Amino acid sequence: MLHGPKQTQHRASKLRRTMTLPEVILWQELRKRPAGLKFRRQHPAGRYVLDFFCASHHLAIEVDGEAHNRSDRPQRDGERDAWLAAQHIRVCRIPAMNVLTDLDAVIVHILSWCGVRGNLPLHQPSAGPPPPPGEN
């Protein structure tokens, strides 16, 4: 399991309270444990904080907004990805716009990174009793 120093843990805690809209929307789906997978949000990893992390599949999910294309961000993201790769963590980068426009496709894409295939229900069935059998 990846951990971070106290300073990173405090930053992760603050980031959990100030998540961006795309992060909040994605978290609302990931916290339902699609395909039985557990995700953590704003997880400390060394000196970094991962947007989402699936420990069982060694997968970091990063929601990239427009700022990730500016200034030195691409270089910093590359260094971060290289450090995570050295820790045997794969990084799945999701454009924030995709979360806002096609959340179902984003969830399917994330599950494919975890090796989950096929048509998956994205929402949990209700806990009520099954419907009565129909007459044929």
Distance CA 126, CA 21 (A): 27
The larger pLDDT score, comparing residue 118 to residue 104, is at 104
Mean pLDDT computed over 98-107: 94
Structural domains for the chain: 6-113 (3.40.960.10)
Question: What pLDDT, on the 0 to 100 scale, is given for residue 7?
Answer: 72
Instruction: Give the pLDDT band (50/70/90) at residue 131.
Output: low
Examine the pLDDT at 70 and tell me if it is beyond 70. no
Distance CA 121, CA 33 (A): 11
Q: Which of 90, 81, 106 is nearest to 27 (CA)?
A: 106
The larger pLDDT score, comparing residue 22 to residue 11, is at 22
Mean pLDDT computed over 90-112: 93
Residue 113, C-beta contacts closer than 8 angstroms, at least 6 positions apart: 57, 59, 90, 92
pTM of the model: 0.74
Burial class, 56, CB count within 10 angstroms (exposed 0-12 / middle 13-18 / buried 19+)? exposed
Burial class, 88, CB count within 10 angstroms (exposed 0-12 / middle 13-18 / buried 19+)? exposed
